[in-house]
Amino acid sequence: MPPPKNLWTELRWWLLTATSSTIVGTLGSIIFSTRTYNWDSNQAVFAVLTLPYIAEAFIQFRSWWRRVLWTLTGIVTFVILHFVDKNIYFWIAGPPESFFLSLPLWIRGPLTFIPPAILEFVTASGARQRPWIWIILTPVLLGLWFYWTVPIRHVAQNLFALIQAQTSVSTQEFFFGAANFGTIFFARALVGSIIAPRLRSE
In the chain, the amino acid numbered 65 is W
pLDDT of residue 120 exceeding 80: yes
pLDDT number for residue 9: 82
For 15-58, how does the pLDDT look when each residue is reduced to its tens digit (9 = 90+)?
A: 999 998 888 877 766 666 555 545 555 666 666 678 889 999 99
In angstroms, the CA 55 to CA 165 distance is: 37
Burial 46-66 (b: 16+ CB within 10 A, else e): bebbbbbbbbbbbbbbeeeeb
In angstroms, the CA 23 to CA 182 distance is: 8
pLDDT number for residue 142: 92
pLDDT of residue 170 exceeding 60: no
For 135-164, how does the pLDDT look when each residue is reduced to its tens digit (9 = 90+)?
A: 999 999 999 988 888 888 777 777 766 666
pLDDT of residue 4 exceeding 80: no
In angstroms, the CA 101 to CA 12 distance is: 41
In angstroms, the CA 25 to CA 196 distance is: 24
Higher per-residue pLDDT: 41 or 90 = 90
pLDDT number for residue 34: 57
Identify the band that residue 88 occupies on the pLDDT scale cut at 50, 70 and 90.
Answer: confident
Distances (CA, A) of 88 to 32, 103, 110, 129, 152: 18, 15, 15, 35, 20
Higher per-residue pLDDT: 180 or 86 = 180
Higher per-residue pLDDT: 85 or 130 = 130
In angstroms, the CA 77 to CA 11 distance is: 24
pLDDT number for residue 41: 56
pLDDT number for residue 137: 95
Higher per-residue pLDDT: 80 or 134 = 134
